Structure 1
Amino acid sequence: MDTKNENKDTSELNLITAYAQMVFFTLQNSGTEITPKSIKSEIKMFYDKFGNKEVKRLANIIMKEKREKK
């Protein structure tokens, strides 16, 4: 039972991390001021437009490109 809860927690943490990566990447590259309101707005937009699975995929692509540029 604990393993199931740990897997769920890890999955939720990965999802939160993916949203954070997408939001900060977008706000930094758009020149938008990073405020709680802009963060909330971006998260809502990503969720409405792409959904959780696609956000994870896009965040992985962005992070892979960042690693390759270094």
Structure 2
Amino acid sequence: MFHAEGHTVAGWIRERRLEQCRRNLADPRLAARSIHAIAARWGFTSPAHFSQAFRTAYGLSPRQFRHQCSTVHPD
């Protein structure tokens, strides 16, 4: 099933974990929680590995993404 869609099981799981991290980093209610704590919550034990995986997936570092989200004001 995964192979037919061009994914591996591990890759699919990593994508889901990164999506959860992304959601948490964008959530203003979690602004006081450290990036490392959010990453660790979703299974990323190495800050360097998490930062690289996040940047590869989304084009920004986790810190840049969080900052970008915090500066966007709804109309």
- Does TM, normalized by the shorter one, top 0.5? no
TM-score of the superposed pair, with normalisation by structure 1: 0.34
Q: Which fold has the larger relative contact order, with Cα–Cα distance below 8 Å and residues 6 or more apart in sequence? A: 1
TM-score w.r.t. the length of structure 2 is 0.32
Between structures 1 and 2, the one with greater helix share: 1
